[in-house]
Amino acid sequence: MKNASALRERWALLAPREKALVAGATGFVALALLWWLAISPALAVLRGAEAQHRTLDAQLQRMLAMQAQAQQLQAQPRQGYDEAVRLLETTVKQKLGLSARITIAGDRVTLALAGTPPDALAQWLTQARVNARALPSEARLIRNAAGTWDGTVVLTLPPR
């Protein structure tokens, strides 16, 4: 209260020109604060909205594609353990040839790679996931000088 009354007294002592300048400066500061705190951030969001909308649309399309793929997988009939193992062994021979060796222990499938082409490995992993419903759980891969993969990939089969 003391400060308010002191300000009123000081205001009353100011000349009309000084009052106009103080009022103008106060208005300018108020407008600047309004701009920095309210209008400018809103305009920045508005400017970035179109790019963010495109990004979100692309993410939505990828998610819808993954949803469709998941629904296709769920619609497939369940395979038995023996059928899944047979499919994995067959596809290793077909896709990876002599560059890979498969070892099966329970629900874990270990694929040892030696000079396996990246495209062949990617195709095999896709087939293993889709046909045998095997999911990669570990991967220790090294790209050699020839641009092929050496190492191991461990997959987990679905429960029996």
Q: What is the CATH number of the domain that holds 121?
A: 3.30.1360
Q: In the listed set 74, 90, 115, which residue is the last one of a domain according to the structure?
A: 74
pLDDT for the residue numbered 129: 87
Give the angle subtended at the CA of 93 by the CAs of 90 and 96, to the nearest 5°.
125
Same domain, 64 and 86: no
Same domain, 64 and 19: yes
Q: In the listed set 31, 59, 74, which residue is the last one of a domain according to the structure?
A: 74
Identify the bridge partners of residue 113 per DSSP, sorted by sequence position. Answer: 100, 151
pLDDT for the residue numbered 1: 66
Same domain, 99 and 142: yes
Same domain, 56 and 27: yes
Backbone dihedral angles phi then psi of residue 110, each to the nearest 5 degrees: -110, 125
Tens-digit pLDDT profile for the chain (160 aa)? 678 899 888 889 999 999 999 999 999 999 999 999 999 999 999 999 999 999 999 999 999 999 998 898 788 777 778 888 888 899 999 889 999 999 999 889 999 999 999 999 999 998 888 888 888 999 999 999 999 999 999 999 887 7
Same domain, 53 and 91: no
Domain that holds residue 129: 81-156
Q: What is the pLDDT of residues 94-124, one digit of tens each?
A: 889 999 999 999 889 999 999 999 999 999 9
Count of other CB atoms within 10 angstroms of residue 119: 9
Residue 99 is given by DSSP the state G
pLDDT for the residue numbered 130: 84
Backbone dihedral angles phi then psi of residue 136, each to the nearest 5 degrees: -65, 130
Q: Which residues of 59-92 are buried (b: 16+ CB within 10 A; e: fewer)?
A: eeeeeeeeeeeeeeeeeeeebeeeebbebbeebb
Number of structural domains (the chain) is: 2
pLDDT for the residue numbered 151: 96
